[in-house]
Amino acid sequence: MKKYIKFYVLLLLFFTFSAVKGNNFKKMAAEALVYCKKNKLDTNFCILIDFSIPSGKNRLVLWDFKNKRDSVIGLCTHGSCSGINNQNKINEVQFSNLANSHCSSYGKFKLGIRSYSSWGINIHYKIHGLEEHNNKVYERVIVLHSWEAVPDKEIFPNTLAQSWGCPAVSNEVMKKLDKVLQKQKLPTFLWIYQTNLKSKNLADAALELTNDAVEYDPSYFKIAYPMGDVPKNKGVCTDVVIRAYRKLGIDLQKLVHEDMKSNFHLYPKKWGLKSTDKNIDHRRVPNLMTFFSRKGEVLPLSFLAADYQPGDIVCWNLGGSITHIGIVSNQTKNGIPLIVHNVGGGQVVEDVLFKYPKIIGHYRF
């Protein structure tokens, strides 16, 4: 009986992931074609990598735009993240734009020149990031190459070996890709994505913000919409959260405004406003708390360090009516997660999680 149950579970997983893969690649390819036309990239083929598919199953596709189908499919490695001690590196993909993290990068890229590789069939293609959260991929020497450790056929439910961040494929798949890529006159579009991207990437994005010199300035600024921002060298605590999410392609200004416009009565009325204000609404802690409560996951207000994971959003009452917000980083001190925030000294990472008077909000979005 147990054998039958195991067989049924494996069969269900096979058909589930196969259906997701087929439908998802077709949908993403349609979006990719629009992007390629707009950005003067090759409109014959693109490469799609779906890291929400288990590593033991085919998750790389060379998509033929003209015939609307996959031309080449194969297994593809993700990064081991050995540089940041990722305990779930075998079963869960983690992304980073940091040097020596050995993590994968995600988002939109274009392939560069064809060059020599010491791996596989001795060919690799340079990769150039097209977004702020992956703009270090070339410097990190993340390239598309083949590797003998990657088999030609699916091995699911077994898992694939991990790379140092490169999307590596089997030798046979690389030969097929290379045959096509060499003929393209314009750069080939590469899209690496994960349909359920984890919030841990927010922690990396937040940490990058600590490299920017920012003066604490609570002034009211009139800003563009959408994707508007105050001057880069200025900001408050909420701007840390807004800027970190923006590195992931998420615009809290737009999301908060749209939700407030439709549900204005559910948001705080502390400022005497009778309508929304695109310039400031998303930059107020109580509004972000309301938004995260409605659209995200509300988590316990505990004093256990283990309850606070990288990428979590935490809010505090600093006394009276003064509220504060920050992002849990992937760094710790004496077992306590450090927080990326701006309480007056710029965008910094500090040990403040349990040092403020009262935690009033804990979210995952």
Query: Which domains are seen in the chain, by residue range?
Result: 2-193 (2.40.440.10), 200-364 (3.90.1720.10)
197 — pLDDT class (breaks 50, 70, 90): low
Rounded-to-integer distance, Cα 61 and Cα 46, Å: 8
| The pLDDT value given to residue 9 | 41
Measured over the CA atoms of residue 166, residue 171, residue 177 and residue 179, the dihedral's sign is positive
Higher-pLDDT residue of 24, 341 = 341
241-to-126, 284, 309, 324, 325 alpha-carbon distances in Å: 32, 11, 15, 11, 8
DSSP 210: T
Give 257-266 pLDDT, tens digit per residue.
999 999 999 9
Residue 13: per-residue pLDDT: 43
Residues 6+ apart with CB under 8 A from 231: 221
Q: How confident is the model at residue 27 (pLDDT cuts 50, 70, 90)?
A: confident
